[in-house]
Structure 1
Amino acid sequence: MQPPDGPGFDFTRPPGEAALIPADSLSWCVFKNPVSLFIGGVTAVILELAEPGVRSGVWEHSSFRSDPVRRLQRTGLAAMVTVYGARSQAEAMIAGVVRAHGRVTGQTPAGQPYRANDPALLDWVQATATFGFAEAYHRYLRPLAEEEMDRLYAEALPAARLYGATGAPRSEAERQALFAAVAERLEPSPIVFEFLDLMRHAPALPAALRPFQVLLVRAAVEATPDWVRERLGLGPELGLRRWEYPLVRHACAAADRLLLPSAAPVRACLRLGLPADYLFR
């Protein structure tokens, strides 16, 4: 997740400094799984691109089309820093993102003005991100009780407030209410299909695993709420076949036991003086 042309980020420093989210949180367990994160991240972007203001901001002011892998790396690193990075470094990174968003303004194809720091758009992005990661974990790794879903939304609030998402959902019930309130704004777009095609073919995984990347994109479509899929025209042929579910679940289960010394969750544990396998016990 470290872009080769960007500054490196050391999750082991400063020693002893806590993150925005505590190490004993559910978020630290959920975000350590790279397979469910990939699935959930794609689900989140599908939902984001369904909203015209977010879609225009993302597609017109980012490198998704020209360099999707680098964009994925930067987005993934930002998520890791938000969850596992030392608080001072996470706050500095988020402040930089907010400043960059301040320059992102424009009009949708329908002529509606948008700005990236609009709290309503930020609330949607925050809600869809947490939903995507939670839903992928819930579907393909371990079912989460409603109380656990509530915990994930509550744990995301400190970072959400720093990003400017002042109305981000604090619970699963508030997430459902926000989705219902935004439903009428969601609309189909060829950009959603272009994004999915990019995710199928961008070299995000090693060449030998590239066919499996297509399967993960299908899993992400499957995790998108049925009513959103219907509105966007994402038919059943774009989701998982019945026989593919076990493959995705086995991959998520294997990834959940994969302790990589260089991974952000492991290095963050070391920063706090915790064992490297703290999250894998």
Structure 2
Amino acid sequence: MALRFFQPEGMQALDFSRPAGEMALVPPDSVSWQIFKNPLALFIGGVAAVVLELAEPRVRAGVWHHTSFRSEPVQRLQRTGLAAMVTVYAARGAAETMIAHIRQAHARVQGRTEAGIPYSATDPVLLNWVQATASYGFLEAYHAYVSPLCAGDRNRFLQEAEAAAALYGATGAPRSTADMTAQFAAMRPLLEPSEIIREFLSIIRRAPVLPAPFRPLQRLMVRAALAILPACVRETLMLDAHLWPWERRLLRVAGSLADRLILLEAPPAQACRRLGLPERYLYDVQRLPALP
């Protein structure tokens, strides 16, 4: 199931094991390589990030009217997940090429919101918000449902994203949890509830991301994404995110199991092979040396 999520239908599979020896934008001993290997954290964090994006009216208009979330939700999620994998695990050259193509596509995304406010996907303010929401979602999902992260690791994760953020044009993306808090406080007056957010959540609950027997877990993960949003944002967006204690325990068990799931043909293992590291490198936590 996880491999299917990493390999969108209709797209040529990207070989993360080539070219041999070429480093990624982020080093293998990073917090990012640990977090992004976990498919449960990626799904929950990705949903949380999109909700935060859609809460900002200019970003909401750009995302909803210029992407295929409505017509192809699963494929859109897969492409977004693959882009995240490329940013973290792919060879630097491949990541830079992909980001350049995305920026070209962003240059064509512009218009006006329902309230008549102009927007552009190249606006640095909006790019910084999108980067902040992505970092927040993945970081908080891993912290809540996989393994708690100390303050130092949380700051490292944000700093590790700086290279990719700059390539996207998000030069003011948060580099620390203090920056993140300040950015959320600055953006909060602009955030607003929307029927589009509720429509997105309804689509993600029903979309065949997981096989039918696992669909209850999928719906639980959507609620788990809402549970990690800042309480003040949930209140603004009028979203309910109640989780029973047994549901939180179930999610942590699933997150822990997913964190030990070695997928030999998935980007993390392929990237390890590219750098001459054991395929179990990211799973033997005690054997993570600091690389030069």
TM-score, structure 2 normalization: 0.94
Q: Does 1:244 align with 2:228?
A: no
Identity %: 59
User: How far is 1:247 from its partner?
Assistant: 0.6
**Per-residue deviation, residues 128-153 of structure 1 (Å, max 9, x unmatched):** 10010000111111111111111011
Output the CA distance in 1 between the equivalents of 2:78 and 2:41.
16
Secondary structure (helix, strand or coil) at the match of 1:114 reads strand
Deviates more, 1:66-75 or 1:144-153: 144-153
Secondary structure (helix, strand or coil) at the match of 1:168 reads coil
Output the CA distance in 2 between the equivalents of 1:205 and 1:180.
35
Counterpart among 253, 256, 261 of residue 253 in structure 1: 256
Output the CA distance in 1 between the equivalents of 2:168 and 2:275.
25
Q: Does 1:201 align with 2:206?
A: yes
Secondary structure (helix, strand or coil) at the match of 1:6 reads coil
**Per-residue deviation, residues 161-215 of structure 1 (Å, max 9, x unmatched):** 0000011011110011010111100000001111111111101112221111001
Secondary structure (helix, strand or coil) at the match of 1:106 reads strand
Output the CA distance in 2 between the equivalents of 1:137 and 1:2.
22
Secondary structure (helix, strand or coil) at the match of 1:252 reads helix
Question: 1:30-69, aligned counterparts within 5 Å?
Answer: 30-69=35-74
Q: Does 1:147 align with 2:147?
A: no
Runs of 4+ in structure 1 deviating by more than 2 angstroms, as ranges, are none
User: How far is 1:262 from its partner?
Assistant: 1.1
Aligned to 1:101: 106
Aligned length: 279
Aligned to 1:264: 267
Letter in 2 for 1:10: D
Letter in 2 for 1:260: L
User: Aligned-residue CA RMSD in angstroms?
Assistant: 0.8
Aligned to 1:83: 88
Secondary structure (helix, strand or coil) at the match of 2:119 reads strand
Letter in 2 for 1:98: R
Output the CA distance in 2 between the equivalents of 1:20 and 1:66.
32
Secondary structure (helix, strand or coil) at the match of 1:111 reads coil
Output the CA distance in 1 between the equivalents of 2:42 and 2:95.
19
The unaligned stretches of length 5 or more in structure 2 are: 1-5, 285-292
TM-score, structure 1 normalization: 0.98
Output the CA distance in 2 between the equivalents of 1:145 and 1:79.
23
Q: Does 1:180 align with 2:185?
A: yes
Q: Does 1:163 align with 2:168?
A: yes
The unaligned stretches of length 5 or more in structure 1 are: none
Letter in 1 for 2:264: P
Secondary structure (helix, strand or coil) at the match of 2:209 reads coil
